[in-house]
Amino acid sequence: MDSISNMLIMMKNGSLAGKESVSFPYSKLKNSITECLKKEGYVKQVSKKIKKGFPVLEVELVYQDKNPKITQVERISKQSRRVYFGVKDIHKVRNGSGLLVLSTPKGILSGRDARKEQVGGEALFRVW
The helix (run of H) or strand (run of E) holding residue 124 is strand 121-127
DSSP state of 15: H
Q: What is the pTM of this model?
A: 0.93
3-127 folds as Dna Ligase; domain 1 (3.30.1490)
Burial 47-57 (b: 16+ CB within 10 A, else e): eeeeeeeeebb
Helix (H, G, I), strand (E, B) or coil at 56: strand
- How many H helices and E strands in the chain? 3, 10
**pLDDT tens for each residue of the chain, 128 residues long:** 799 999 999 999 999 999 999 999 999 999 999 999 999 999 999 999 999 999 999 999 999 999 999 999 999 999 999 999 999 999 999 998 999 999 999 999 999 999 999 999 999 999 99
Check residue 1 and give its pLDDT: 77
